[in-house]
Amino acid sequence: MLEKLFVIKIGGQIIDHETKLVAFLASFAAVKEKKILIHGGGKLATTLAEQMNIPQQMVEGRRITDEATLKVVTMVYAGYINKHIVALLQARHCDAMGFCGADGNIMLAHKRKKGSIDYGFAGDVDQVNADRLEQLLQTGVTPVIAPITHNGQGQLLNTNADTIAQEIAKACSRIYEVSLVYSFEKSGVLLDVNDETSVIPSIHPADYEQLKSEQKIFAGMIPKIDNAFSALDSGVKQVIIGKAEQLQQLISNKAGTTISHEKH
């Protein structure tokens, strides 16, 4: 039987809220199993870009990463946020080490091809160095990963943190029994987007088709769930979606939505 590994993504709204972040990190540090934290960016990058008079272009909710913006997100994600989180975890006796994809060649990506939209220095992940992550985990390190990758030729790239969490979870499934946890401000996958008590506790492929055909799932959640099933198909044991404040309950399947092939 493979050892358990939790790959936990923490959403931007939690990062922007210092009290919530500190509380989340306390419960993250208390997770006894091996674990990897992936963090997004929050609003600080946008604020900094404004202060530096760098105009921010958003297309379909995604940031266009020109050269100046790449510098900003590298500073904010891989610099301030990453090191702030690492220092807070170290204070809680969690032996955290912060990385971007270039560090130890952990995540290799390529610059997204120009289609109808030129996303600039946006990176699509080609390869996760799971052996390097395992080497770190085996020495007691908890990797804390910022959503910046590199192309192996000296170029840093901006990559979506949800995607990074998924790619790391998939790659580590060769070595560990991986649970991928998306922790954010919502309580889970909701039947009614305006009702936080309408969490669907578990979703299996058969249920999902039915829920979709009955249009019971909020449209905005569908890409997330489709991604979760794709992760399962690549060997991830389960995907858990839920509230950051409930991390301990999430990892024991007592809160949030668990997406898996198995019944719990």
State the residues that interact with its own copies by CB under 8 A. 48, 51-53, 71, 74-80, 82-84, 86-88, 90-91, 95-100, 102-105, 135, 139, 141, 148, 150, 152-156
Measured CA to CA, the distance from residue 20 to residue 163 in angstroms comes to: 23
Measured CA to CA, the distance from residue 238 to residue 228 in angstroms comes to: 8
Smallest gap from Cβ 83 to its own copies, in A, equals: 5
| Residue whose CB is less far from its own copies, 74 or 163 | 74
| Residue whose CB is less far from its own copies, 159 or 257 | 159
Smallest gap from Cβ 156 to its own copies, in A, equals: 5
| Residue whose CB is less far from its own copies, 99 or 184 | 99
Give the C-alpha distances (Å, rounded to integers) separating 233 from 100, 109, 238.
26, 22, 10
| Residue whose CB is less far from its own copies, 19 or 139 | 139
| Residue whose CB is less far from its own copies, 2 or 52 | 52
Smallest gap from Cβ 127 to its own copies, in A, equals: 13
Smallest gap from Cβ 237 to its own copies, in A, equals: 28
Measured CA to CA, the distance from residue 187 to residue 241 in angstroms comes to: 8
Smallest gap from Cβ 175 to its own copies, in A, equals: 16
Closest CA to 81 of 39, 27, 128: 39
Measured CA to CA, the distance from residue 25 to residue 31 in angstroms comes to: 10
